[in-house]
């Protein structure tokens, strides 16, 4: 975990307001009054040491199987947040649900790749406006090969198109995140693009301090009004199926104080999802069924209670950013 | 059924070659040598009176359920022809199958609408090149409302884009047809657009004489090298589920001599297809399961034998056009 001081230094890079600079200097002089050292947990009004958890399902809109499984799990209450892939063909189904369930915590899972083989999608923006994002058949690239020239201006066009379609279809997103972390892990220019668009739409972006060491540009670009989660946990491809529950149980038992987002991928292991993901087991149908099973289980519910972990959503985080 | 004479008159409209004109005049003088009165069955080398049948599945590529059901039925042999929807997300799955089964009779089901509610797709061409074809969210229109201004030039751009994507992905189509008959039933300009593109790619178009009375422009636009099927049969929405097999059995028992295409819609009544089609029963999951069940049944196979109906595909029809 990175210290608050390091984060404070990062802030200075981007700040131009002399007022804010003076306040920062004052803050460092008056170290007994640590207004800028306040953690996200404290800003949310919880005592230090509180363990807050977002249980966040990815990839809604990609398949009906994932939509159906996550809707069922959201209704059960232990999965409490999710994000939607606007370019995908089942987006209308989940947009319709979001519209009729306006209190649900739905973000947009900004999507720039079409990573499957037998089931694919392309950009929301006209393909000729985002040529660097599409392959020779007009789909998003399956992957970004080393040296793939992704044009940040085209990324911005596509992100705006995704957000505008979601808004036009009645979705009121609570946050933005990035499918396959493409906008997080691929350099400052793409991250800044996402952040600029997010600021314009007044939406928080999913970023965690866990990523700062490997990607220092994240810290450098974030401002004082941005929410930064403390930690994230996600399943690792090397975990065998029989250790699935163990992995999550261990993570929950070792959960650190602060706000953590579990990034999970529930779905039903049915014909559609098996066909859509059949070229590899990672994030495949059986994987997603295991996630569904664990996060809707009594075991999960009991560990939350036992470990005094409180569930929280992006709906509660957004006001913390505004209040800052 | 329309007589050959009427069809011959239609041909004259489009012909400019004086050679062809002279041959036509000669043909009408030498009525004892009825080269232009030859039926499609005769041109195919069968005796007059032969009943030839194409059992043609629509809508491949739209869902995995339809792909899987039709692949299974094609392998059984009683469904022997199908067409693919290029703009749909499961097109890569069926394109991959087509590539590895190059002898299968696959056409392209040219698609200009996205007729479902919870599951949708848009054009292959960049949306800003085909604005009259898309709704405010960038999908193909759900329907063409009365007065919807569909621009024929944009239709041509989109048809070419669909064919080019199919070719680029390794599909070698045997014919073209039109999803929801949009390009057949909506006036001469759209039909001529499809026909012009089809001629350019040297692909036959599914047209039947059954449609000439209601849409005389079809007959007027077709030339001597175009294949025209004699009849078509398709399920009618008013037929109740319990009369499904009866409807097809009656049609088969009353099949007229000539080439008939049965336009059918097989699929599995599974979670994906139920979700994708849930807003109405017509062409829904249960409908498609009934089609799958009948056309893979022993009953169907037995009636074919009993009625001396011979199955034929577009692969055999195309050389008949070339030879003409």
Residue B324, pLDDT above cutoff 60: no
**Test the A interface: residue of B137, B170, B274 with most A CBs within 10 Å:** B137
CB pairs A-B closer than 8 Å: 92
Q: How far is B168 from chain A (nearest CA, A)?
A: 7
**Test the A interface: residue of B62, B88, B126, B268 with most A CBs within 10 Å:** B126
pLDDT top residue among B318 and B324: B318
As a whole number, the mean pLDDT across chain B is 90
Q: What is the pLDDT of residue B37?
A: 64
Q: What is the pLDDT of residue A7?
A: 31
Considering only CB atoms, which chain A residues are within 8 Å of B279?
none
User: Which of B136, B137, B275 is nearest residue A64 as measured by Cβ atoms?
Assistant: B275
User: Which of A92, A126, A139 is nearest residue B117 as measured by Cβ atoms?
Assistant: A92
Are A90 and A65 a contacting pair, CB within 8 Å? no
**Test the A interface: residue of B84, B87, B118 with most A CBs within 10 Å:** B118
Residue B278, pLDDT above cutoff 50: yes
Lowest mean pLDDT among A196-210, B111-125, B138-152, B240-254: B138-152
Which residue in chain A is spatially nearest to B129 when comparing CA positions?
A126
The ranges of chain A with pLDDT < 50 are 1-35, 324
Q: How far is B165 from chain A (nearest CA, A)?
A: 6
**Stretch B174-188: mean pLDDT, rounded?**
97
Are B160 and B193 a contacting pair, CB within 8 Å? no
**pLDDT per position as a tens digit, B287-312:** 999 999 999 999 999 999 999 999 99
**Stretch B58-73: mean pLDDT, rounded?**
98
User: Which of A90, A118, A137 is nearest residue B119 as measured by Cβ atoms?
Assistant: A90
Percentages helix, strand, coil for chain B (3-state, rounded to 5) are 45, 15, 40
**Stretch B202-222: mean pLDDT, rounded?**
97
Between the CA of residue B50 and those of A181, B303, B305, what are the distances in Å? 62, 15, 13
Residue B167, pLDDT above cutoff 70: yes
> How does DSSP classify residue A129?
G
Residue B70, pLDDT above cutoff 60: yes
pLDDT top residue among B38 and A1: B38
Which residue in chain A is spatially nearest to B114 when comparing CA positions?
A89
Which residue in chain A is spatially nearest to B268 when comparing CA positions?
A271
Considering only CB atoms, which chain B residues are within 8 Å of A96?
117-118
Q: What is the pLDDT of residue A4?
A: 31
DSSP string for residues in A29-70: H-TTS-GGG--HHHHTTPPTT-EEEEEEEEEETTBHHHHHHH
Q: Whole-prediction pTM value? A: 0.88
- Report the Cα–Cα distance between both ends of chain B, in Å, rounded: 21
Are B133 and B123 a contacting pair, CB within 8 Å? yes
A118·B276 Cβ contact <8 A? no
Q: What is the pLDDT of residue B38?
A: 84
B119·A92 Cβ contact <8 A? yes
B68·A275 Cβ contact <8 A? yes
Which residue in chain A is spatially nearest to B138 when comparing CA positions?
A124
Model ipTM value: 0.88
CA distance A141 to A130: 12
């Amino acid at each position: 975990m990175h210290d608050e001081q390091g984060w404070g230094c990062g802030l200075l890079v981007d700040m131009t307001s002399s007022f804010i600079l003076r306040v920062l200097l004052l803050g460092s002089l008056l170290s007994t009054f640590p207004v800028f050292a306040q953690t996200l947990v404290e800003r949310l009004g919880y005592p230090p040491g509180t363990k807050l958890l977002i249980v966040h399902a990815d990839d809604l809109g990609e398949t009906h199987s994932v939509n159906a499984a996550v809707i069922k799990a959201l209704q059960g209450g232990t999965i409490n947040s999710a994000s939607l892939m606007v370019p995908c063909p089942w987006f209308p189904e989940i947009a319709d649900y979001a519209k009729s369930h306006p209190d649900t915590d739905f973000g947009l899972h900004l999507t720039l790749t079409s990573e499957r083989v037998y089931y694919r999608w392309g950009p929301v923006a006209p393909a000729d406006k985002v040529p660097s994002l599409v392959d020779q058949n007009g789909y998003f690239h399956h992957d970004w090969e080393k040296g793939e020239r992704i044009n940040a201006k085209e990324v911005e066009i596509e992100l705006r198109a995704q957000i505008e379609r979601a808004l036009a279809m009645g979705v009121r997103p609570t946050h933005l995140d990035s499918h396959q972390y493409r906008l997080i892990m691929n350099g400052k220019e793409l991250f800044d693009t996402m952040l600029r668009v997010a600021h314009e739409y007044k939406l928080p972006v999913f970023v965690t301090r866990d990523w700062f060491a490997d990607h220092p540009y994240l810290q450098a670009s974030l401002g004082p009004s941005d929410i930064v989660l403390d930690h994230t946990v996600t399943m690792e491809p090397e975990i065998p199926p029989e250790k699935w529950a163990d992995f999550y149980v261990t993570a929950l038992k070792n959960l650190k104080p602060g706000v953590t987002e579990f990034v999970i991928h529930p779905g039903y292991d049915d014909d559609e999802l098996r066909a859509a993901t059949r070229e590899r087991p990672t994030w495949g149908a059986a994987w997603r069924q295991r996630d569904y099973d664990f996060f809707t289980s009594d075991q999960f519910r009991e560990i939350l209670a036992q470990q005094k972990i409180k569930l929280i959503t992006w709906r509660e985080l957004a006001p913390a950013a505004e209040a800052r």
